[in-house]
Amino acid sequence: MASGVTVAVVGATGAAGQTTLRILEERKFPVRELRAFASERSVGKTVTFRGEAIRIQKIEAAAFKGVDIAFCSAGSAQSKEYAPLIRKAGATVVDKSNAFRMDPTVPLVVPEINPHAARRHQGILACPNCTTIVTVMPLKPLHDAGRLRRVIATSYQAVSGAGVNGIAELREQTLAWARGEAREPRHFLHRIAFNLIPAIDRFGPDGYTGEEMKLVNETRKILEAPDILISPTTVRVPVFTCHSIAVTAETEEKITPARARDLFARFPGLRLWDDPAQNRYPMPVEVEGQDDCFVGRIREDLSSPTGLNFWVVGDQLRKGAATNAVQIAELLLG
């Protein structure tokens, strides 16, 4: 591995794929050769990596021969089709979709939290949902210190979590509003500009959406704590980048706000940003483009003697997707 590895990025033209290319550059990942893949309509186009134009290739088994690590930034259906093919070609797959997250044979990894899980991989490793990653980062130190019993989490999710179409729709609707024009939604079910949509993904028979259940099931798997009670709500908001989550965390052992601040400040990948007197608290416009998750507004929960309330914000394209995936690959090399 001293001379570098051959890396493939599947879905290289999408928002997550583009961010993956950027993170590989920024973290100086030892890429000897990069191969880029996307849908058939993108074959022949190029993406840029380290100043070089990389031609988009067609996804087929022969194209992955010699690849060491493949990042899949496509949808679940595509990952289910392509990941086994890529693994059979000899590569280790780091998948960002929902395809394998709850597969008991596939590690679901946040490197700051459960790096040991990566050692159990059988050729495929999964990245959690972006909201789960941002939420679970501050939950981990609380769980280690006081054992989590119950979590209430309400997420405020940026449009880039829906990909390039979500970004375009917010921009187009905002510009149309400024011109006094009406613009019907095309990607989201309802208008997103100057609006909130309190549902992401499809509803299940219990009234919860798939996005909400990801937060429940993935958090339990990552923390290896299947008995934690979790109540989720997800909301799409007219913000381009960064997911924000309002969290109430109830622990078996009481953790004071002062101790929580100390735990958060010491935990890798978290940045304490908590000074209400100076109007200092995490906001998407300040967290965008950064890999750390920012946590603040830490206070006792008025309804529970062992509860804490806090607010956490993370760039879901970076730590919520691409950075976490590259960190997993770094674990593999390490």
User: Catalytic positions, please?
Assistant: 130, 243
Residue among 228, 305, 259, 272 nearest 142 (CA): 259
Give Cα 72 to chain centroid, integer Å: 13
DSSP letter string over 70-95? EEE-S-HHHHHHHHHHHHHTTPEEEE
The number of beta carbons lying within 10 Å of the beta carbon of residue 27 is: 14
β-strands 307-314, 293-300: how paired? Answer: antiparallel
Q: In what order do the strands lie in the sheet with 31-37?
A: 46-49, 52-57, 31-37, 5-10, 69-72, 92-95, 124-126
Q: Go through the chain and tell me how many residues it has.
A: 334
CB 27 within 8 A of CB 175: no
Q: Hey, which residues does 230 pair with through a beta bridge?
A: 151
Helices (H) and strands (E) in the chain, counts: 8, 13
- Sign of torsion over alpha carbons 77, 80, 81, 86: positive
β-strands 148-157, 229-236: how paired? Answer: parallel
Residue among 30, 9, 33 nearest 21 (CA): 9
β-strands 5-10, 69-72: how paired? Answer: parallel
